[in-house]
Amino acid sequence: MIEEQQKTEKSNNCAGCNKQLTKLKRYYRDGKYYCAKRCWKEASKAGKEGK
Ligand SMILES: [Zn+2]
């Protein structure tokens, strides 16, 4: 089941800039992972702008 673990880790990309995340460096917010709090702010800001 090692392959499944790798698959899960690979899906941990920043929802803002799509940069690959590590266990140490990630920011969880609204069901998604971001590389930084700042990246989440940018992403949420861009999403609300359309409304
Ligand atoms: Zn990011």
Prediction pTM value? 0.64
Could you tell me the distance, in angstroms and rounded to a whole number, from the CA of residue 48 to the centre of ligand 1? 17
In the structure, ligand 1 is a single-atom ion and the residues with CB under 5 Å from it are: 14, 16-17, 19, 35, 39
Q: What integer pLDDT is reported at residue 49 of this predicted model?
A: 61
**CB–CB of 17/36 below 8 Å?**
no
Could you tell me the distance, in angstroms and rounded to a whole number, from the CA of residue 34 to the centre of ligand 1? 5
Q: What integer pLDDT is reported at residue 38 of this predicted model?
A: 93
Q: What integer pLDDT is reported at residue 30 of this predicted model?
A: 86
| Mean pLDDT (10-residue bins), the chain, 51 residues | 57 88 88 92 79 57
Q: What integer pLDDT is reported at residue 40 of this predicted model?
A: 93
Residue 32 identity (one-letter amino acid): K
Could you tell me the distance, in angstroms and rounded to a whole number, from the CA of residue 5 to the centre of ligand 1? 22
Rg, Å, the chain Cα set: 12
